């Protein structure tokens, strides 16, 4: 696999997501940027069985965006893959438009209605349990935020996934270390994340960087082959990644970039492609 091409793809999709948020003048910039490379690894890394032409394909794998506010990143990918027309991105968060502020099931390619934190991972557990009950060979992937781990329901889900030995479930934590009110460590410390999941009975795969798509694809491939227990990939990321002035800035959690900021960042992201 040509991972340099995927880096370029992620940069292009960052522009699409930022543009959609900019046009809406509303949306989660920092979070969409921190999870983009993880989503690119999932959707372009050959690890997930999906077909944009057949969104309801009976043997497809499932993806649940438990951190639903990362929706613009996922929407950019689904549009790029052809689940829906790319022009829908221009109407993100607008009245009567398809693309809601947080993912809803009626959008082609979206499997679970999320946005209320903590619920998506439980839904992923439910899908994985139903797959097991039907004796099918399908995987369920869920992306969580690190702030989201403060929701008690996440740990209820973690307990259930281990109890039912859901080895068809792979969770990925977008560990960007920031939330709306400040650093996670200051608002409500979630560390140590890996130890907690391990104690709950999960296999933990810690990454060096959640922005290294090759490392992500290898980890996801490994996670799919873990038997008799669920796996969590803890992916250290940078909130606002790819937007230098927004990186690691709490203030860019839920705001759109201005016209001037877009003019500054778009050439930089286009340059990622050029360097390849």
Partner 1 sequence: MEKIATRAAFGEAIAELGAKYRNIMVLDADLASSTKTLKFAQAFPGRHFNIGIAEQNMMSIAAGMAIKGKIPFACTFAIFATGRAWEQIRNGIAYPNLNVKVVGSHSGIMTGEDGATHQALEDIAVMRAIPNMKVFCPADAYETKAVIASMCEDFGPVYLRLGRSAVPVLYDEKYRFKPGKGDVLRDGTDITIFAVGSTVSRALSAAEILESQGVSARVCNMCSIKPIDEDLILESARKTKKLFSVEDHQIIGGLGSAISEVLAEAGSGIPLKRIGMHKFGESGKDEDLYRKYGLDAEGIVRVVSG
| CB closer to partner 1, 155 vs 249 | 155
| CB closer to partner 1, 49 vs 163 | 163
**Least distance to partner 1 from the beta carbon of 143, Å?**
15
CA distance 258 to 255: 9
| CB closer to partner 1, 104 vs 255 | 104
**Least distance to partner 1 from the beta carbon of 125, Å?**
5
CA distance 112 to 104: 6
Residues that bind partner 1 (CB under 8 A): 62, 64, 104-106, 111-113, 115-116, 118-120, 122-131, 133-134, 152-153, 156-157, 159-160, 163-164
**Least distance to partner 1 from the beta carbon of 28, Å?**
17
CA distance 265 to 270: 9
**Least distance to partner 1 from the beta carbon of 118, Å?**
8
Could you write out the three-class secondary structure of 180-203?
CCEEHHHHCCCCCHHHHHHHCCCE
Q: Radius of gyration over alpha carbons of the chain, in Å?
A: 17
DSSP structural state of residue 62: E
**Least distance to partner 1 from the beta carbon of 178, Å?**
24
| CB closer to partner 1, 50 vs 216 | 50
| CB closer to partner 1, 9 vs 93 | 93
- Going by C-beta distance under 8 Å and a sequence separation of 6 or more, which residues neighbour residue 112? 62, 64, 65, 103, 105, 120, 123, 124, 127
């Amino acid at each position: 696999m040509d991972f340099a091409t995927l880096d370029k793809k992620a940069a292009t999709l960052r522009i699409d997501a930022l543009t959609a948020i900019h046009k809406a003048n509303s949306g989660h910039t920092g979070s969409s940027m921190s999870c983009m490379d993880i989503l690119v690894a999932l959707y372009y890394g050959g690890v997930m069985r999906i077909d944009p032409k057949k969104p309801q394909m009976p043997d497809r794998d499932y993806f649940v965006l438990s951190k639903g506010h990362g929706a613009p990143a996922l929407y950019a990918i689904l549009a790029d893959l052809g689940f829906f027309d790319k022009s829908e991105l221009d109407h993100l968060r607008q009245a009567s438009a398809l693309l809601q502020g947080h993912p809803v099931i009626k959008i082609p390619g979206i499997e679970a209605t999320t946005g209320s934190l903590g619920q998506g991972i439980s839904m992923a557990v439910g899908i994985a349990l139903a797959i097991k009950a039907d004796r099918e060979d399908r995987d369920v992937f869920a992306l969580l935020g690190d702030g989201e781990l403060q929701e008690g329901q996440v740990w209820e889900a973690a307990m259930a996934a281990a109890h039912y030995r859901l080895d068809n479930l792979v969770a990925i934590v977008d560990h960007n270390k920031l939330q709306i009110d400040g650093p996670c460590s200051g608002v409500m410390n979630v560390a140590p994340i890996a130890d907690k999941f391990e104690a709950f009975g999960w296999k933990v795969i810690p990454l060096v960087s959640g922005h290294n798509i090759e490392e992500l694809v290898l980890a996801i491939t490994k996670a799919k082959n873990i038997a008799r227990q669920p796996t969590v990939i803890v992916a250290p990321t940078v909130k606002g990644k790819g937007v230098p002035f927004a990186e690691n800035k709490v203030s860019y959690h839920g705001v759109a970039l201005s016209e001037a900021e877009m003019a500054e960042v778009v050439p930089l992201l286009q340059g990622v492609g050029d360097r390849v």
